[in-house]
Amino acid sequence: MPPQRGRHFLQIPGPTNVPDRILRVLNAPTIDHRGPEFNHLASGVLDGLKGIFRTSGPVVIFPASGTGAWEAALVNTLTPGDKVLMFETGQFAILWRDLAERLGLDVDFVPGDWRTGADPETVEERLNEDREHKIKAVCVVHNETSTGVASRIKEIGEAIGRSGHPALFMVDTISSLASIDYRQDEWGVDVTVAGSQKGLMLPPGLAFNGIGEKALKAAKSARLARSYWDWEAMLTMNADGWFPYTPATNLLYGLREAIAMLDEEGLDKVFARHARLGEATRRAVTTWGLEILCRNQAEYSASLTAVMVPEGCDADALRRVILDAFNMSLGNGLGKLKGRVFRIGHLGDFNDLMLAGTLSGVEMGLALAGVPHSKGGVAAALDYLAGTLKAGEVVEMAGRARA
């Protein structure tokens, strides 16, 4: 393979492009994690995360991939045999379900079509039917990264509230945190599951749990075995700015920088930026005459778009052509979607011209790979991007993202 010049376009929906500012701070000497400089670093990031999670409660950080945060959420709050309600939104929901079953939980898995999100009405019905309060937790993936469908967490939280059911509400925000509006406290979420390598613009390696009061209380009587993931040891040490075991020190340098970048931009602007880039992407896709996997406009993901290829075409062959010809990685179809979709990540450290480059690579790739499509997708996206740049409209979009 000849060497590729210029930047690789990492347009999978996580890990995302790590900004230079973060790469530079990662490259500092590792320090003593029992010394004063570390203490200052840890206190700062533990405090700064609360604003990103929109919670007044603690957020804990594990050296792990996002999967660790899934496990930590369950083992700290539940007891073997507990019933949990989960929703088949796509491949990530299936993986979380499998993990829960391996831990010895009794999962009621509500089937789904992989094209719509978890339904708030179904949540309410299931909880209302459960008069004996056998269900101990409702677990939902906010942004289903395998399908580009974002479940309506606020509405699901309201449905749980209306039911008066005591189940805990746990939400996987691994590919939505710092990309799509999310409010742990306001929306009644008890445990937030997150990871470093998507909206937070960091390399993989950090996993997070945002922990509400009700979850802290549940942890006191939960009997699933836990050691590495134990919140109690972590929270006790974190209270003074320390960790119970060696933290991922250099990633915490990066986290400090990521929090600073998100604060400088403002979370509402971050959400509006993602929403606008998502809309531009969808305009390109529909102009190409290809189908967006997400069926419900109210559930379009602002962090990625999953695109179906026409019958008889292989999405992986298309991705291969695009990688070889243009040095760009797109997301593959996961689970039962293998070969049927490709996914365009438009989250993290990402702007208009990066999207223009990304969509150009896709449009040229469609032609090279012989995938039937109409031209003009990139032009449609550019028209939308230019047309929405008027200052007043950008402000209005920020308002919509807040609403």
Ligand X SMILES: *Cc1c(COP(=O)(O)O)cnc(C)c1O
Q: Which residue has the tokens 């995302």?
A: 16
Which of 11, 147, 163, 175 is the binder for ligand X (CB under 6 A)?
175
Comparison of 175 and 305: residue with beta carbon closer to ligand X: 175
Dihedral, 153, 204, 333, 339 alpha carbons, nearest 10: 180
Comparison of 65 and 388: residue with beta carbon closer to ligand X: 65
Comparison of 258 and 366: residue with beta carbon closer to ligand X: 258
Question: Rounded to the nearest 5 degrees, what angle is found at the Cα of 247, between the Cα atoms of 245 and 249?
Answer: 150
Residue 174 near ligand X by CB under 6 A: yes
Query: 210 phi and psi, to 5 degrees?
Result: -90, 130
Residue 345 near ligand X by CB under 6 A: no
Cα–Cα distance between 76 and 62 in angstroms, integer? 14
**Cβ-contact 30, 250 below 8 angstroms:** yes
Comparison of 43 and 67: residue with beta carbon closer to ligand X: 67
Cα–Cα distance between 195 and 207 in angstroms, integer? 4
Residue 172 near ligand X by CB under 6 A: yes
Q: Which residue has the tokens 């599951």?
A: 193
Comparison of 82 and 144: residue with beta carbon closer to ligand X: 144
Distances in Å between the Cα of 401 and the Cα atoms of 120, 139, 181, 273, 282 are 20, 24, 7, 9, 18
Q: How many residues bind ligand X (CB under 6 A)?
A: 12
Residue 92 near ligand X by CB under 6 A: yes
Interaction mask 203-242, ligand X, x per CB under 6 A = -x--------------------------------------
Residue 145 near ligand X by CB under 6 A: yes
Residue 141 near ligand X by CB under 6 A: yes
Comparison of 62 and 92: residue with beta carbon closer to ligand X: 92
First to last CA, the chain: 49
Q: Tokens standing for 398?
A: 């920020």
Q: State the residues that interact with ligand X by CB under 6 A.
A: 14, 65-67, 92, 141, 145, 172, 174-175, 195, 204
